[in-house]
Amino acid sequence: PHSAGPHPTPDPHAPQIRRAAGLIAAAVHYKRQLDEESLPPVTQRGQALTMEQNKYLFSTTRIPGEVQDSVRSPYSPSWPGPSGARHIVVLFHGRMFRLEVIGPDAVPHSLEDLESGLRAVLKSGAEPAGPGASVGHLTTMARAEWAATRQSLLDCHPRNADLLDDVETSLFHLCLDDLAPTGELEACDALLHGDSGNRWFDKAVSLVVFRDGRAGINVEHCELDGTTILSFTDALLGTPAEEQSRLSGAAGQGQPALIELEFGLSDDLRTQVVDAARAFAQYADATATTAVALDDFGTSDAKALGVSPDAFVQLAYQLAHQRAKGRLGATYESIATREWRRGRTEAMRVVTPEIVEFVRTFQDPSGDPADRRAAVRAAAAAHVARAKECKAGRAPEQHLWELQLIQKRRGAELGVTEEPSLFRTPGWTTMRDDYLSTSSAPSTHIQYFGFGSTSSRCIGVAYVLLPDRFHLYLSTPEPVAGQMRAFAAELRTAVGELRELLADEER
């Protein structure tokens, strides 16, 4: 008899390395298609949509300003045409590394090369950054403060300008989190904020990969909206990584060039880093979140009941909010306006007179089922009509809001020293005071997505509504966490009630 040798110890980071390399390869392939303008036009029901935002997926960074922020990106007067950057920035243990993902001859590195480079990052960054060294924390500061601190960073050491240039021109960021989330909520929270020392929140796109290989994306919103990110995500995940690498023309070139970005920091800057880290951690702790999964309901069910799926869930939100908070409140839903050149989004105001009547009939214990069904149909029809108006650019809120902001920023030079009276009217101030801020991400490649709430009493409602499932990630300030959890519970009940009521009609 012979004894077998010891079993090799499995590499705990293998899933993370493999997944991260695949995402890098897919993203590089997507950029190559954008540069060559070979991506087919985006259309929706035969209508061409603007692809302007694709300019801001790669090598784009928000730059803090004392009065107003700016954006550093390719396809701009100071940086014409596509980005020629060949590197990404990888963050691990609060340390930052510049990793070349495209070779000197513009040939992308192979998957094997990328895995080798990422292993070198894990080895170099095995020791977490010391206190005050993770400069990414500074991106969580109030914008004007961060603008001043960024200038201090540039002034502190001559090499910092080059390091910031590496950060800001990198194709995108890859955050390797030394975390294997215990559940979906922990994963969602880590993607929403995570350890701010392992993020650079001003970067347009940061791919986040956990130790167990699960992954997500954190996006800076000022130039990118959800529909563009959905197209990008679907492209990353819709084709196997090996095929993406092959299509990009990748070739083995050896381990990619790697250098750590070590900023020269004064004691004052280190103190600011520590203070920013502490303040942001407190802010995250003061934000309550919850994940809701309805895996027995989806768009197929709503359609079978003869109702627009989005109208169905928005009606359920209003009924749940009335029951959880005792009132209806201003509700925002993001509607893409990409039928227009450089179109972004419109703020759809969900609470119509028909929705008010729908909620009233459901809250009346003696309500007749036929009256309730009629109220549901009327409210759903009003919702669909308003959404179409918003999509077609026939809703004025975002335009008016921008005029309000222009007056605040430039009123003196434009000769409009007093805020127009419209913006002080009860109608405007009530409409702008969100109780629910809602947005959907309908992609089979996304389990959950999320964002913060917009006020001290608002619930952020980020939902993924697909044929066979309905997933939500909710966020709100901690003082009203109980109301958010009550809303989540009431939402399940409301969806069930609506289904039962409309199913009875179908029988």
pLDDT in tens, 418-477: 999 999 999 999 999 999 999 999 999 999 999 999 999 999 999 999 999 999 999 999
- Tell me the three state secondary structure of residue 252: coil
**Same fold: 14-285 with 288-506:** yes
Output DSSP code: residue 471: E
pLDDT value at position 44?
A: 87
Phi/psi of residue 479, nearest 5 degrees: -60, -25
28 half-sphere exposure, CB direction, 13 A CA radius: 35
Predicted pLDDT of residue 123 = 97
Whether residue 110 contacts residue 192, with contact meaning beta carbons closer than 8 Å, is answered with: no
Q: Is residue 494 scored above 80 in pLDDT?
A: yes
CA 296-326-371 angle, to 5 degrees, is 65
Separation of alpha carbons 348 and 386, rounded Å = 7
Q: Average pLDDT, stretch 134-140? A: 98
Q: What is the pLDDT of residues 69-90, one digit of tens each?
A: 999 999 999 999 999 999 999 9
**Which H helix or E strand runs over 63?**
strand 61-63
C-alpha triplet 50, 51, 56: angle, nearest 5°: 130
Q: What amino acid is encoded at 321 in this protein?
A: H
Terminal CA-CA length for the chain: 72
Q: What is the pTM of this model?
A: 0.95
- Give CA–CA dist 237/207, Å, rounded: 13
* Domain extents in the chain: 14-285, 288-506
Cβ(193)–Cβ(175) below 8 Å: no
Q: Which two tokens stand for residue 222?
A: 């000022």
Per-residue pLDDT reduced to its tens digit, 28-39: 999 999 999 999
Question: Which of 483-488's residues contact partners 24+ apart within 8 Å by CB, and which partners?
Answer: 483/324, 483/325, 483/457, 483/459, 484/288, 484/290, 484/459, 485/290, 486/323, 486/324, 486/325, 487/320, 487/321, 487/324, 487/325, 487/459, 488/290, 488/292, 488/320
The confidence score (pLDDT) of residue 486 equals: 98
Q: Which CATH number fits domain 14-285: 3.30.70.940, 3.30.1490.20, 3.90.870.10, 3.30.559.70?
A: 3.30.559.70
Interval 157-191: pLDDT, tens:
999 999 999 999 999 999 999 999 999 999 999 99
CATH top-level class for 288-506?
alpha beta
Query: 238 vs 366, which has greater pLDDT?
Result: 238
Split at pLDDT 50, 70, 90, the class of 12 is confident
Look at residue 1 in the predicted model and tell me its pLDDT. 47
Task: Name, in order, each residue with C-beta under 8 angstroms of 304's C-beta and a sequence gap of 6 or more.
Answer: 506
Query: Distances in Å between the alpha carbon of 320 and those of 189, 356, 470, 471?
Result: 24, 13, 16, 16
Task: Using pLDDT thresholds of 50, 70 and 90, give the confidence band for residue 395.
Answer: very high
Average pLDDT of the segment spanning 304-319: 98
pLDDT in tens, 87-103: 999 999 999 999 999 99
The answer, yes or no, to whether residue 132 has pLDDT greater than 90, is yes
